Amino acid sequence: MIILNLVIFGSLLFLLAVIFRKTEKLGLTVFIGLLLGLVSGALLQNIYDKSIIDGTLDWVNLVGNGYVRLLQMIVMPLVFISILSAITRLNQAGALGKVSFSVLSVLLITTAIAALIGIAMAYIFDLSAAGLVAGERELAAQVKVAGRVEQVANLSIPAMLLSFIPRNPFAELTGANATSIISVVIFSALLGVASLSLAKEDKDLGERIAQGVDTLNKWIMRLVRLIIRLTPYGVFALMTKMSAVSQWADIVNLGSFIVASYLAILLMFIIHGILLFVARVNPIDYYKKVLPALSFAFTSRSSAATLPLNIETQTDKLGNSSVIANFSATFGATIGQNGCAGIYPAMLAVMVAPTVGIDPFTISYLVSLIFVVAISSFGIAGVGGGATFAAIVVLSALDLPLELVGLLISIEPLIDMGRTALNVNGAMVAGTLSNRLLNKK
């Protein structure tokens, strides 16, 4: 039966290839791949027993995880060379400060808005931590969460900022640390500033450096585009696996939290659209252009793996400058994540607070919660781990119990898909708004 399943899987991959070749529309093909994967995974789960499903998914993972690894392979080289290339074309180093401030401001402000929306959804749906039952997986997750608390217990802002500065840029290029992406950004930015300084002293030398960097950038970007063309097949395989292994009973039991989470995510997408409209960017055209990147973020659940698609979408489809695109994509993958560090920890804080006798809807508590969420979203890059660490940091800062983080583990993958898509969209919106604000075309 496994062989039959793989023949069908291969046939659907071929069908996607035919559709892509005839339409030449990446977004449409990705969406079709997503739907095919959802249906294929559901059929696997309902027709076969676990051994056949696992045997089939071992080969399906070769396509899905193989594509993710290809994207991960090019993340660090892409971040390094594209930022270096962009800076060498700047007229002055001072422009970097404006870009960084604009991007970070948008990311943190939208995260605060996302927290407010998460709080509102928890109130509307009357969500509470009371009554949740811990199964075997949830109890195991609680133990894991308890172990992770130690990693953030002594986290301070100075320590977090210090972790961004690379001690060994070559190690950071391998992704050795949780903050490697930001460290690579800092190293490449400083190297770019050094090239600008050299260009002032020796114009010919500066031009040769710029030409060499530009050549490397074109080389890397050609590799990126080759890999991005594989997106429909990667999304199809990843969605097949997700759909085949999801525990639908858990999803039904925690349905209210899932619905509230996705309504919050949807509302935040609408807020992004309103911000774009105010900046005189057509939201409908924008979402049509970013659909492939959002689809991959949704299925891969990785903001970092989506970096190449994020940057390529901003520069080629949205027309953002390469400097702003690279800064917003890399910062957005680790700082100010609207979904993982905004909506999710805010909802959990509201759900947990009543269990320790706190009214979460008093003005003082709401203000403190939104402030902690926004600041903590900047610190999540220092510890890694996405939404789980974000929740731990926020709940710890508010002196709330952490058990709920483990109790929701059964539905974590399903919600994380939407959160990751929102994270990536937040980064692209930050880049687009900054591009408009700074008039960099």
What is the SS3 assignment for 142?
Answer: helix
Q: Which pLDDT score is estimated for 136? A: 46
Give the predicted TM-score (pTM) of the model: 0.76
335-347, pLDDT tens digit by residue? 788 988 899 889 9
Q: Which pLDDT score is estimated for 233? A: 92
DSSP state of 355: G
Checking if the pLDDT of 11 tops 60, the result is: yes
CATH number at residue 303: 1.10.3860.10
Helices (H), 24-94: 26-47, 50-88
Q: State both tokens at 191.
A: 């190297």
Residue 402 contacts residue 395 (beta carbons within 8 Å): yes
Q: State both tokens at 313.
A: 């979408």
What is the SS3 assignment for 133?
Answer: coil
Task: Tell me what the mean pLDDT of segment 80-103 comes to.
Answer: 76
- Rounded Cα gap, residues 330 and 336, in angstroms: 11
- Rounded Cα gap, residues 139 and 345, in angstroms: 20
- Rounded Cα gap, residues 337 and 376, in angstroms: 10
Q: Which pLDDT score is estimated for 193? A: 85
Q: Which domain holds residue 332?
A: 2-437
Instruction: Choose the weakest-confidence range: 196-210, 289-303, 374-388, 409-423.
Output: 374-388
Checking if the pLDDT of 110 tops 90, the result is: yes
- Report the percentage of the chain scoring pLDDT > 90: 25
Closest C-alpha to 408, from 395, 397, 421, 399:
395
Q: Which pLDDT score is estimated for 379? A: 52
Average predicted confidence (pLDDT) for the chain: 82
Count up the domains in the chain and report the number.
1
Checking if the pLDDT of 271 tops 90, the result is: yes
